[in-house]
Amino acid sequence: MDLKVIFLGTAGSVPTPKRSLPAILIKRKGEQLLFDCGEGVQRQMVIAGASFHKATKVFITHMHGDHVLGLPGLMQTMALHDRDKPLIIYGPLGIRKFVECIRETVQFGLTFPIEIHEVGEAGVVCETPEYVVQAIWANHVTPSLAYALVEKPRPGKFYPEKAKALGVPEGPLWGQLQRGKAAKLPDGRTIKPEDVLGSPRPGRKIVYTGDTRPFEGLAEFAAGADLLIHDATLGDELAERAAEDGHSTPSQAAEMAKKAGVKRLVLTHISARYEDASVLLEQARKIFENTTVAEDFLTVEVPFSSE
């Protein structure tokens, strides 16, 4: 599977014997996208078999310690492994100063460049030929971003019989058409990709709220997502407390999943008071059946919806 989500840390605020601090690793083709970087993330990566060498982008939702204090340790371990690829970090205002301060004061002996992108406004924060990462402001007690990884549509299915019927010789021209590019035939005719391909196939979409109260705009931001990863720090019985602290309850997350029409909901940032999180799961499932409460190292594969 070329798109896999591994929950490296699923606790909220403080670690527990079973839960490490927030960090969600998305493995996509040869790349690693790490959403939040709670303390202890490097050890969780070792256990999960993640790499300190691969192309890696880190997306920080907000500057609370439980979401960023894993960065110094991660940088240190990457240096000790002689990493040479850049580490690319996205986050809200403050992320640059934080990383620069620890670089100035801690003797890292960094072996790789660090690239920092401060995200000042909502929108596309990172774009590659195959996907974009978008951000939107969430509703926490400090400026906090929710992120969406959205793959671009792929060219439709290739029909060899159509290519043959149009007289396209088998070989490089077939490949060109399969990649969505027009092909010029030896006899001068030009064949368009849509002449031999089915309709474009949608990419996949994963949304991570970070710490947040339920907020206007998320339903649209997460619309149709294959996977919504939502804050569910406290149970429904503590809804008032959750609102005060800038968090959500399972029912609120489930309502959002339903409204956004997502395929699957995973709850995370679980308070230390829930040694057994099944009560949270029950609350959410009353509203949205396809819900899971994340545990550390839960792995979710995200397949293409249909061919």
Distance from C-alpha of 4 to C-alpha of 6, rounded to nearest angstrom: 7
Q: Are 68 and 58 in contact (CB under 8 A)?
A: no
Nearest CB to Zn ion, comparing residues 131 and 215: 215
Question: Stretches 43-51, 122-130, 180-188, 206-214: which one binds Zn ion (CB under 5 A)?
Answer: 206-214
Secondary structure class of 88 (helix, strand, coil): strand
Nearest CB to Zn ion, comparing residues 211 and 226: 211
Which uninterrupted H or E stretch holds 242?
helix 239-245
Smallest gap from Cβ 219 to Zn ion, in A, equals 22
Smallest gap from Cβ 83 to Zn ion, in A, equals 27
Nearest CB to Zn ion, comparing residues 22 and 193: 22
Smallest gap from Cβ 200 to Zn ion, in A, equals 38
Question: Stretches 49-57, 92-100, 203-211, 290-298: which one binds Zn ion (CB under 5 A)?
Answer: 203-211
Catalytic residue among 66, 211, 226, 231: 66
Q: Are 180 and 155 in contact (CB under 8 A)?
A: yes
Q: Are 204 and 151 in contact (CB under 8 A)?
A: yes
Question: Using the rule CB under 5 A, is 211 a contact of Zn ion?
Answer: yes
Question: Using the rule CB under 5 A, is 213 a contact of Zn ion?
Answer: no
Nearest CB to Zn ion, comparing residues 36 and 236: 36
Beta bridge partners of 215: none
Smallest gap from Cβ 62 to Zn ion, in A, equals 6
Query: Where in 56-115 is the site for Zn ion (CB under 5 A)?
Result: 64, 66
Smallest gap from Cβ 306 to Zn ion, in A, equals 36
Smallest gap from Cβ 66 to Zn ion, in A, equals 4
DSSP string of 146-162, one letter each residue: EEEEEEPPBP--B-HHH
CA-angle at 249, arms to 248 and 250, nearest 5°: 125
Which residue carries 């006899």 as its tokens?
Answer: 187
Question: Using the rule CB under 5 A, is 151 a contact of Zn ion?
Answer: no
Nearest CB to Zn ion, comparing residues 111 and 142: 142
Residues 6+ apart with CB under 8 A from 279: 235
Is residue 236 among the annotated active site residues? Answer: no
Residues 6+ apart with CB under 8 A from 174: 158, 160, 163, 168
Question: Using the rule CB under 5 A, is 39 a contact of Zn ion?
Answer: no
Nearest CB to Zn ion, comparing residues 64 and 83: 64
DSSP string of 24-68, one letter each residue: EEEEETTEEEEE---TTHHHHHHHHT--SSS-EEEE-----HHHH
Catalytic residue numbers, as ranges: 66
Residues forming contacts to Zn ion in the complex (CB under 5 A) are: 64, 66, 211
